[in-house]
Structure 1
Amino acid sequence: MAGPRDQDKLADQWSLGAGAEDEDHAWAELMDGEAGAPASAGTDRTLNQEEIDSLLGFDADAGNVNLAGVQALINSALVSYERLPMLEIVFDRLVRLSTTSLRNFTSDNVEVSLESISSVRFGDYLNSIPLPAVLSVIRAEEWDNFALLTVDSSLLYSMIDVLLGGRRTAGTVRVEGRPYTMIEMALARRMIEVVLEDTQRAFEPLAQVHFRLDRLETNPRFAAISRPANAAILIELRIEMDDRGGKIEMLLPYATIEPIREQLLQMFMGEKFGRDTIWESHLATEIHAAEVEVEAVLHEVEVPLSRLLNMKAGDTVMLDRSPSDPVTLRCGDVDLTEAIMGHINDHVSVRVTRPLNPPKVTMAAFEGAQNTLEKR
C-alpha cells in the first residue's frame, strides 16, 4: 500500500488542480511503488535446475509412465498401453517362456524380468537408443507389418562370454570404437531368433502370428520402420546371468498390432486367454456320451378337431405315403435327416439315407450375442 508521503503528495496535486496527465502520472508512480515493494522481497528470482526439470517434465525418478509439465502436453496424443490389458498378460507369458528358453540356450542361470511397458513416439525412441546396439527389424507376416527389437551392448557381450566360455567378470564389458564382428552378429542373431520364437508362442493363444527376422542393423537410421511421430509400445526386458546381463527392448508400433486390437481389448481373469481347454475336453466328452431320444415321423396330416373327437377304435386314417417314401428323423423340434423304413426280425427299423441337416444356429450367432452383452 501507499505510504503517508505518497497520499499527501496526491492530495497536494489534487488541491492544486492538476490536469488529467498529472493525475495519470501520479497514479502510475503510486502503482509502481506498490509493485516494486514485493520485488525487493525476492519474488523475481531465477529458477534452479530442479525446478526447471519439474516444469518441463524431465523428472528422472518419474520414469516414462507418469509425465508432467510440458512433457505431458507434448505426449498427450499418445495412446496409453493400459487400454490394451491383454498385452501385459502376453508379455508376462513371454517372460516365463524366455527364462526357460535362454537357460537351455546358454546352459546358465538366466533370469528374465519385465521392467516396463510404456507408450513412446517412434522418432523419440530411435534418438534415445544407446549405441553401440544391435537393432533387429522384425516382420510380423500375418499382420503384414514390422516391429523392432534392440539388444544393448552389455547384454550382447555378456551372452558372447557365456556362449564362448569367457571369464566371469563383475563389471560390464564394453568394447567401444569398433563395429561388431561377424561372430558377434551371428550369436546375436541366434539369441534374437530364440526370443522371437518365444514371442510367437506368447501371442499364440491370442492370435496366430509368425515373427521373422528381416535384417540386423547397427545404425538407427536404417531401422526406420515407421514415421517418427507415430505412437508405439515399448517393452523393456531385463536379462540377468548371475552378475552380468543387459536389456532387450521390443518396439511394437500401434499400426502393427491393429489387426488384433479387438483381442487386446478383452478383459478377463486367468491365464487361459478366455478359454479353458480342460473344460472344453470335458464338455465334448459329456456331449458325446449324452443320450437323446430320436423319433421317426412317418407323416403329418391336419384333420379337423371334430373328426378327431369322433374317432373310435377301428377307424382308418389314410396317409398319402408309400412304403418306399422317406421318413423324417426328429430330435425334439429339430429335423435331423431322412431315412427309409424297414424291419429287422420283429422290429421296425429305419436306414439313414443322407447326411444330417446343417444346424440353423451358427457360431456367428453366438459371437453376435456375446458382442451385444459386452456392449451392455
Structure 2
Amino acid sequence: MADEPIDDEAMAAEWEAMAGGGGDDDQDAMAAEWEAMAGGDGAAEEEDEDMSGAAPGRVLDQDEIDSLLGFDGDADAGETTGIHALINSALVSYERLPMMDIIFDRMVRMMSTSLRNFTSDNIEVSLDNITSVRFGDYLNSIPLPAMLAVFRAEEWDNYGLMTIDSSLIYSIVDVLLGGRRGTAAMRIEGRPYTTIEQTLVERMISVVLKDMCGAFEPLSPVNFTFDRLETNPRFATIARPPNAAVLIKLRVDMEDRGGRLEVLFPYATLEPIRELLLQRFMGEKFGRDTIWETHLATELWRANVDLMAIMDETEMSLGEVMNLQVGQTVVFNKTPRDEIVLKCGDVAMVSGAIGRAGQHMAVQVRRTAERLQSANMEE
C-alpha cells in the first residue's frame, strides 16, 4: 500500500463527486443558517431599540442641540440652561440686591415728571428689566451709533455708565428743537454727532442723574456727577471686561417717538452700600412716610407742656418738717434779683428773673436750656 503511487486523477474525481452530490443542498443550508443568524441579530437589535426608546446611532436635531448648549432660554427674561448656565454661574445674580427694584421704580416715577418739565412734552418712562452681565459682553453688545455717558459716584468713589441709543438721541433733539409732532424722528447714520446734539443730550443726562440721586437718597445719599461723554465704547471702559455689573434698562416714550436708556453699575461701585441693598423692603417708601412725619411734627408742636417755676430749694430734716407750725416762716437763699429756673418735669428748660405783670407773677427769660446746662457744667 505504501509503495502504490497516488492517483491524482482518481482523487480529483472523488472530490468532485462529493462536491457535486451535496453542493446545492449544502449551499442552501448554509444560506439558511446565515439568514437565521442575521434575523436573530435583527430581532435582538429591535428589542434593544424598543427598550431604549431611541436608536443608538440617532442624530440630535437643532432644537435638542440648542437646549443642550443653553441657547433656547429667554434672553430678556434672564433664563439660561445647559452649558450657557454653567458658564454664567460665576456671575452674582442681581436677585441678591432686592432694593434695586425699589430704587429704580422710584427713579422711573421721578424721571417721568422731570423729563416732562424738561421737554414740555408727554413722556412715559418704564422699567424693562434689571439683569446681571459681564462688563465686556455689555460693551460688545451696544448697538452703534450711541452715546455713552460716564458718571462718578462721589461718596462711593467709583464710576457708572449710562447708554443712550440713537433713537432716543434723535427724539430728544427733535423735541427740544421744536420738531413737528406726529412724525417719527429722522435718523441719520454714517456721521458723528454734532456739538448741538451732544450738548442737548448732556442736559438730559444731568436731569437723569439728578433723579437718580433722589432715588438713592432715602437708602444712602449719593451725588452722581457727569464725567464725560463718549461715542466709542473703548473709551468708556470703567471696569475690567470679566467683571460683573448690574444693568438697568429703561424705555422712554414720547408719543410715537422714543428710545432706550440703560444704566450700568459695576458691582465694585455698589460695594459700599451692598449691605443696604441686600435688605428686603416691605412697602414703597423705604420705611418712611412723609405724610405721617409731617402730621406727627405738627401735633408735637401743638402739644401742651406744663412748666414749673422753681423759686428755690432747701434741705430740711424730717423732724424739722414734722415740727412746722402754722405761721412759721421758712427762709430761702433767693433774693428778688436772682434767677429762677422753669422746669418741665425734671428737665430744666429756661431761667430768668422774677417780676410782676399786672396782677400776675412773671418770669423774664434770660437763658435757654443749652446755656443753662453749660453754665452748670462750668460751675
Question: Structure 1 length normalisation: TM-score?
Answer: 0.71
2:261 corresponds to which of 235, 248, 253: 248
Residue 82 of structure 2 is matched in structure 1 by 69
Moved more, 140-149 or 64-73: 64-73
Residue 311 of structure 1 is matched in structure 2 by 324
Asked if 2 retains the 8 angstrom alpha-carbon contact of 1:161 and 1:167, the reply is no
- Which protein is bigger by CA-based radius of gyration? 2
The within-5 A match list for 1:1-376 is: 41-43=54-56, 45-106=58-119, 108-163=121-176, 165=179, 175-261=188-274, 264=277, 265=279, 267-270=281-284, 272-344=285-357, 346-357=359-370
Cα separation, 1, equivalents of 2:180 and 2:298: 55
Asked if 2 retains the 8 angstrom alpha-carbon contact of 1:297 and 1:328, the reply is yes
Matched AA of 2:281: M
User: How far has the Cα of 1:56 moved from its partner?
Assistant: 3.6
User: How far has the Cα of 1:235 moved from its partner?
Assistant: 0.8
Matched AA of 1:289: R
Cα separation, 2, equivalents of 1:301 and 1:219: 83
User: How far has the Cα of 1:254 moved from its partner?
Assistant: 3.0
Q: In the TM superposition, what whole-angstrom CA distance separates every residue of 1:256-296 from its partner, at most 9, and x where no partner exists?
A: 344445554362423x4433333333333322222211112
Cα separation, 1, equivalents of 2:361 and 2:323: 29
Distance 1:305 1:89, change over 3 A: same
Cα RMSD, aligned residues only: 3.7
Moved more, 160-169 or 150-159: 160-169
User: How far has the Cα of 1:135 moved from its partner?
Assistant: 1.0
Cα separation, 2, equivalents of 1:251 and 1:204: 18
Asked if 2 retains the 8 angstrom alpha-carbon contact of 1:90 and 1:202, the reply is yes
Cα separation, 1, equivalents of 2:264 and 2:238: 10
Matched AA of 1:285: T
Cα separation, 2, equivalents of 1:347 and 1:92: 61
Asked if 2 retains the 8 angstrom alpha-carbon contact of 1:139 and 1:211, the reply is yes
Distance 1:294 1:128, change over 3 A: same
Cα separation, 1, equivalents of 2:84 and 2:267: 21
Asked if 2 retains the 8 angstrom alpha-carbon contact of 1:342 and 1:350, the reply is yes
Identity rate, percent: 58
Asked if 2 retains the 8 angstrom alpha-carbon contact of 1:335 and 1:357, the reply is no
Cα separation, 2, equivalents of 1:236 and 1:72: 22
Cα separation, 2, equivalents of 1:359 and 1:78: 60
Match of 2:269, SS state, is coil
Specify every segment of 5 or more residues in structure 1 that has no aligned partner in the other structure, as ranges: 1-32, 361-376
Cα separation, 2, equivalents of 1:159 and 1:350: 66
Matched AA of 1:254: Y
Question: Structure 2 length normalisation: TM-score?
Answer: 0.70
Q: In the TM superposition, what whole-angstrom CA distance separates every residue of 1:147-182 from its partner, at most 9, and x where no partner exists?
A: 111112233344445555379667x97655443344
User: How far has the Cα of 1:236 moved from its partner?
Assistant: 0.5
Distance 1:313 1:45, change over 3 A: farther
Residue 363 of structure 1 is matched in structure 2 by none
Match of 1:353, SS state, is strand
Distance 1:301 1:127, change over 3 A: same
